[in-house]
Amino acid sequence: MATEIITKEDLNEFRELLLNDFKAILQGKPIAENTKWLKSYQVKNMLKISPGTLQNLRVNGTINYTKIGGILYYKYEDIQRLLEGNHKRK
């Protein structure tokens, strides 16, 4: 099992995101529209996929990402586009 160190900056970023989410809820806005960048765990939860599937989507170019300091970030709009592109009609 890999160990991940959480820094003060990570906690401050989490606090800011959490406060923004609460503000969005109170204003009646969907949380996801307020979030421009998503981390891997958020994308996996959104798409209900495994880490391996997410990796395959990155490798084959289905999902674009940005890597900063070992953390992968995904644009919310790209994930929405992926979902809409795979929408099937009856």
Give the separation between CA 39 and CA 52, rounded to whole angstroms: 15
pTM: 0.58
Domain ranges across the chain: 8-85
Torsion of CA 72, 69, 8, 12, to 10 degrees: -40
Please answer whether residues 63 and 43 qualify as being in contact, where contact means their C-beta atoms are separated by less than 8 angstroms.
Answer: yes
Q: List the chain pLDDT tens, one digit each, 90 residues.
A: 567 788 888 888 888 888 887 887 777 765 555 568 889 998 998 889 999 999 999 999 999 999 988 899 999 888 888 888 865 555
